[in-house]
Amino acid sequence: MWIVIAGALVIGISLGLLGSGGSILTVPILAYAIGQPEKLAIAGSLAIVGGISLLGAIPYALRGDVVWRSVLWFGLPGMLGTVIGAQISRFLPGALQLTIFACVMLIAATRMLRSAVATAPGALEALPQRRSHIVRDGLAVGVLTGLVGIGGGFLIVPALVLLGGLAMRQAVATSLVVITLNAFSGFVKHALVLRSLGLSLDWTVIAQFIAIGGSGAVLGNLLGGRLPQQQLRRAFAVMLVVMGAYMLWREAPRLF
């Protein structure tokens, strides 16, 4: 039980504080700490991250931080991409999905260590020609979400800042809404795949993660303006390197 409490709190705080990092932590916890099969862990992660992101987005939305125009341009292509990725995932073995997941974790860590978002201007003018790039990135993030259960906040936040012209707080808020849309879209498709494979989700674990993680997301939201973002991202990136390397060590040999 302590694993669920600690894991859910960290996931929620990460989403509320940084607008990313939720599913990157959820899948390993479900797969390794709780011992769920790979495909169950990925599907359950989408339900958990979607629920926590929704709860975390509410305070931001009430303060008017969510930029709904960016949700439209980024979120709708992402939902389409998520369905496509989830459809492809049914043909991939679980070990391959987790290996891809580990590689994405290492890429995410690299991006965070570079601190691209933290050093970007706080507010940029979104140029019309950049909309095509936002749509493209939204579709790509959606495919990744559906394929391996990653919410993609570490990709969404930089894109919203650098391409969408959003301030950091707006990007975090908008990212939570986009993650919610992508995660729930992918979960519906994955649930149908699980049914065809005769697998059942553990709804008790999912509910516990969402309830505890939602509290963590609200806490992360409150701490967002008081803690140094750059240092937090670097610390989180180091943790991703360790977890990604561990997952590769475990999963890569199973491919051969």
Q: CA 214, CA 195: separation in Å to the nearest integer?
A: 27
Give me the domain span that covers residue 138. Answer: 2-255
Output the six-digit token pair for 38.
């790979």
Q: CA 190, CA 171: separation in Å to the nearest integer?
A: 27
Q: How far is CA 14 from CA 9, 132, 167, 217, 220, in A?
A: 8, 29, 18, 7, 7
Asked if pLDDT for residue 132 goes beyond 80, the answer is no
Asked if pLDDT for residue 242 goes beyond 80, the answer is yes
- 194-200 average pLDDT score: 82
Query: Residue 66 has what pLDDT?
Result: 92
pLDDT tens column, 103-131 = 887 887 777 676 544 444 444 444 444 66
- 10 Å CB burial of residue 196 (0-12, 13-18, 19+) is exposed
Query: Residue 62 has what pLDDT?
Result: 92
- 6-30 average pLDDT score: 75
pTM of the predicted model over 0.75: yes
Asked if pLDDT for residue 239 goes beyond 80, the answer is no
- Reported as a pLDDT band with limits 50, 70 and 90, residue 240 is confident
Domain count, the chain: 1
Query: Residue 118 has what pLDDT?
Result: 46
pLDDT tens column, 68-109 = 988 888 888 988 998 898 888 888 888 888 888 888 878 877
- Reported as a pLDDT band with limits 50, 70 and 90, residue 147 is confident
Quick one: which of 140, 148, 153 has its CA closest to 108? 153
Highest mean pLDDT among 23-27, 49-53, 105-109: 49-53
